[in-house]
Amino acid sequence: MKSRTKVAVIGGGIAGCSTLYHLTQEGWTDVVLIERDELTSGTTWHSAAQVTNFGMNQTMVGLKSHSIALYQKLRDDPDYPVGYHHGDGGIRLANTEAQMEGYRHFASMARGMGVTYEVIDAEECARRHPLISTDNLLGGLWDGEDGDIDPAQLCQALAFHARRAGAEVYRQTAVTDLTQHSDDTWTVHTTQGDIDADIVVNACGYRVNEVGAMMGVSHPVASMEHQYFVTDDIPAIVGAGHRMPLLRCPISDYYARQEKNGLLVGFYEQDCRTWGMDGISPDFSNDLCPDDLERVMDVLEGAFARMPALAEAGIKRIVNGPITYTIDGAPLVGPIPGKRNAFCIIGLRAGLGEGGGHGWLLAQQIVHGEACHDTWVIDPRRFTGHATVELTSLKAIEDYQNEFRFHFPNEHRPAARMAKTTPLTPVLAAEGAACTVVNGWERAEFFKPAPEFRVTHGFGFDESFDLVAREVHAVQSGVGLAEINGFNRIEIAGPDRHSFLDRLTCGRLQTAAGRVGLSYLLTPQGMLKTEATIANLPASARGPERVWFGSAAAAEYHDMDWLTAHLSPHEDVQLRSLTNDQTILLLAGPQSRDVLSACARGDWSSEAFPWLSVRECCVGFVPATVMSVSFSGELAYEIHVPNAHLYAAYTALRAAGAPHGLKLFGAHAIESMRMEKGFLHWKADILTEFDPFETGLSRFVQMDKGAFVGREALAQRAQAAPKNRRVSLLIHDSTAPAHPGASLMDGTNVIGTITSGAWGHRTGKNLAYAFVQASESAIGTQMMLDLCGKMVPATVIKDAPYDPELRLPRG
Ligand SMILES: Cc1cc2nc3c(=O)[nH]c(=O)nc-3n(C[C@H](O)[C@H](O)[C@H](O)COP(=O)(O)OP(=O)(O)OC[C@H]3O[C@@H](n4cnc5c(N)ncnc54)[C@H](O)[C@@H]3O)c2cc1C
Residue 15 CA, closest ligand 1 atom number: 25
- Residue 410 and residue 275: Cα distance in Å, rounded? 30
Strand 622-627 to 614-619 pairing: antiparallel
pLDDT of residue 124: 98
Ligand 1: residue whose CA is nearest its atom 13 = 350
Ligand 1: residue whose CA is nearest its atom 12 = 350
Ligand 1: residue whose CA is nearest its atom 18 = 351
- Residue 429 and residue 450: Cα distance in Å, rounded? 11
Which run of H or of E encompasses 85? strand 84-86
Q: Is the pLDDT of residue 512 over 90?
A: yes
Of 70, 76, 78, which Cα lies nearest the Cα of 51?
A: 70
- DSSP string covering 426-466: HHHHHTTEEEEEETTEEEEEEE-SSTT-----SSS--TTHH
List the Cα angle 668/673/674 in 5-degree steps.
100
pLDDT digits (tens, 9 = 90+) for 123-133: 999 999 999 99
Other residues' Cβ atoms within 10 Å of the Cβ of residue 459: 20
Q: What's the gap in Å between 45 CA and the centre of ligand 1?
A: 7
Which residues pair with residue 557 across a beta bridge?
none
Q: Is the pLDDT of residue 771 over 90?
A: yes
Q: Is the pLDDT of residue 424 over 90?
A: yes
pLDDT digits (tens, 9 = 90+) for 199-212: 999 999 999 999 99
Q: Is 2 helix (H, G, I), strand (E, B) or coil?
A: coil
Of 33, 19, 47, 89, which Cα lies nearest the Cα of 349?
A: 47
Strand 315-325 to 168-170 pairing: unpaired
- Residue 475 and residue 483: Cα distance in Å, rounded? 14
- Residue 549 and residue 309: Cα distance in Å, rounded? 62
Q: Which of 9, 39, 43 best tests ligand 1's pocket when mutated (most atoms within 8 Å of CB)?
A: 43
Ligand 1: residue whose CA is nearest its atom 16 = 351
Helices and strands (H and E) in the chain: how many? 19, 39
Please indicate whether residue 560, judged by its CB atom, sits closer than 6 Å to ligand 1.
Answer: no
Contacts of 268 (CB under 8 A, 6+ apart): 226, 253, 254, 299, 400, 401, 403, 404
Contacts of 358 (CB under 8 A, 6+ apart): 15, 18, 63, 331, 333, 345, 348, 351, 378
- Place 183 in a pLDDT band, splitting at 50, 70 and 90: very high
Residue 349 CA, closest ligand 1 atom number: 19
Integer CA distances (angstroms), 639 to 11, 13, 615, 662, in order: 48, 50, 10, 16
Strand 31-34 to 168-170 pairing: parallel
Q: Is 676 helix (H, G, I), strand (E, B) or coil?
A: coil
Residue 41 CA, closest ligand 1 atom number: 49
Exposed e or buried b per residue across 360-377, where buried means at least 16 C-beta atoms within 10 angstroms of its C-beta: bbbbbbbbeebbebbbbb
- Please say whether the beta carbons of 662 and 655 come within 8 A: no
Of 279, 315, 280, 309, which Cα lies nearest the Cα of 296?
A: 315
Residue 505 DSSP label: B
- Residue 27 and residue 551: Cα distance in Å, rounded? 35
Q: What's the gap in Å between 403 CA and the centre of ligand 1?
A: 18
- Residue 654 and residue 482: Cα distance in Å, rounded? 11
- Residue 749 and residue 701: Cα distance in Å, rounded? 33
Q: Is the pLDDT of residue 653 over 90?
A: yes
Q: Which of 44, 155, 226, 399 best tests ligand 1's pocket when mutated (most atoms within 8 Å of CB)?
A: 44
- Residue 430 and residue 535: Cα distance in Å, rounded? 33
Q: Is 529 helix (H, G, I), strand (E, B) or coil?
A: strand
Segment 436-444 shows an average pLDDT of 96
Integer CA distances (angstroms), 229 to 47, 258, 775, in order: 11, 12, 53
pLDDT digits (tens, 9 = 90+) for 696-754: 999 999 999 999 999 999 999 999 999 999 999 999 999 999 999 999 999 889 999 99
Evaluate if pTM is beyond 0.95: yes
Q: What's the gap in Å between 366 CA and the centre of ligand 1?
A: 21
- Residue 31 and residue 251: Cα distance in Å, rounded? 45
- Residue 646 and residue 275: Cα distance in Å, rounded? 41
pLDDT digits (tens, 9 = 90+) for 14-42: 999 999 999 999 999 999 999 999 999 99
pLDDT digits (tens, 9 = 90+) for 567-602: 999 999 999 999 999 999 999 999 999 999 999 999
Ligand 1: residue whose CA is nearest its atom 30 = 42
Segment 478-503 shows an average pLDDT of 97
Q: Is the pLDDT of residue 76 over 90?
A: yes
pLDDT of residue 262: 98
- Residue 683 and residue 553: Cα distance in Å, rounded? 11
Q: What is the mean pLDDT of the chain?
A: 97
Of 391, 386, 388, 483, which Cα lies nearest the Cα of 440?
A: 386
pLDDT of residue 20: 99
Of 580, 573, 577, which Cα lies nearest the Cα of 545?
A: 573
The CA R_g of the chain, rounded to the nearest whole Å, is: 27
Please indicate whether residue 344, judged by its CB atom, sits closer than 6 Å to ligand 1.
Answer: no
Integer CA distances (angstroms), 606 to 319, 656, 805, 807, in order: 70, 20, 17, 12
pLDDT digits (tens, 9 = 90+) for 48-68: 999 999 999 999 999 999 999
Q: What's the gap in Å between 324 CA and the centre of ligand 1?
A: 8
pLDDT of residue 746: 95
- Residue 72 and residue 69: Cα distance in Å, rounded? 5
Please indicate whether residue 211, judged by its CB atom, sits closer than 6 Å to ligand 1.
Answer: yes
Other residues' Cβ atoms within 10 Å of the Cβ of residue 321: 23
Q: Is the pLDDT of residue 95 over 90?
A: yes
Please indicate whether residue 517, judged by its CB atom, sits closer than 6 Å to ligand 1.
Answer: no
Residue 245 DSSP label: P
Q: What's the gap in Å between 14 CA and the centre of ligand 1?
A: 7
Please indicate whether residue 205, judged by its CB atom, sits closer than 6 Å to ligand 1.
Answer: yes
pLDDT of residue 119: 98
Percent of the chain with pLDDT over 70: 100
- Residue 505 and residue 525: Cα distance in Å, rounded? 14
Which residues pair with residue 227 across a beta bridge?
267, 320
Of 303, 240, 297, which Cα lies nearest the Cα of 269?
A: 297
Segment 286-315 shows an average pLDDT of 96
- Place 811 in a pLDDT band, splitting at 50, 70 and 90: confident
Q: Which of 202, 204, 215, 285 best tests ligand 1's pocket when mutated (most atoms within 8 Å of CB)?
A: 204
Residue 677 DSSP label: T
Q: What's the gap in Å between 140 CA and the centre of ligand 1?
A: 29
pLDDT of residue 473: 98
Other residues' Cβ atoms within 10 Å of the Cβ of residue 620: 16
Q: What's the gap in Å between 115 CA and the centre of ligand 1?
A: 27
Contacts of 333 (CB under 8 A, 6+ apart): 344, 345, 346, 358, 361, 362, 375, 378, 379, 380
Q: What's the gap in Å between 146 CA and the centre of ligand 1?
A: 20
Q: Is 228 helix (H, G, I), strand (E, B) or coil?
A: strand
Q: Detail the DSSP E strand segments found in 246-374.
A: 246-249, 254-259, 262-267, 274-275, 315-325, 332-335, 342-346
φ and ψ of 593, to 5 deg: -65, -40
- Please say whether the beta carbons of 515 and 613 come within 8 A: yes
Q: What's the gap in Å between 342 CA and the centre of ligand 1?
A: 20
Q: What sign for the dihedral angle of Cα 49, 53, 59, 62?
A: positive
Start-to-end CA distance of the chain, whole Å, equals: 69
pLDDT of residue 294: 95
Please indicate whether residue 188, judged by its CB atom, sits closer than 6 Å to ligand 1.
Answer: no
- Residue 590 and residue 569: Cα distance in Å, rounded? 47
Contacts of 516 (CB under 8 A, 6+ apart): 510, 533, 534, 535, 536, 612, 613, 614, 627, 628, 629
Segment 795-801 shows an average pLDDT of 98
Q: What's the gap in Å between 396 CA and the centre of ligand 1?
A: 16
Segment 469-496 shows an average pLDDT of 98
**Residues constituting the chain:** 811
- Residue 432 and residue 185: Cα distance in Å, rounded? 52
Q: How far is CA 789 from the centre of its chain?
A: 24
Please indicate whether residue 38, judged by its CB atom, sits closer than 6 Å to ligand 1.
Answer: no
List the Cα angle 746/748/749 in 5-degree steps.
60
Which run of H or of E encompasses 532? strand 528-537
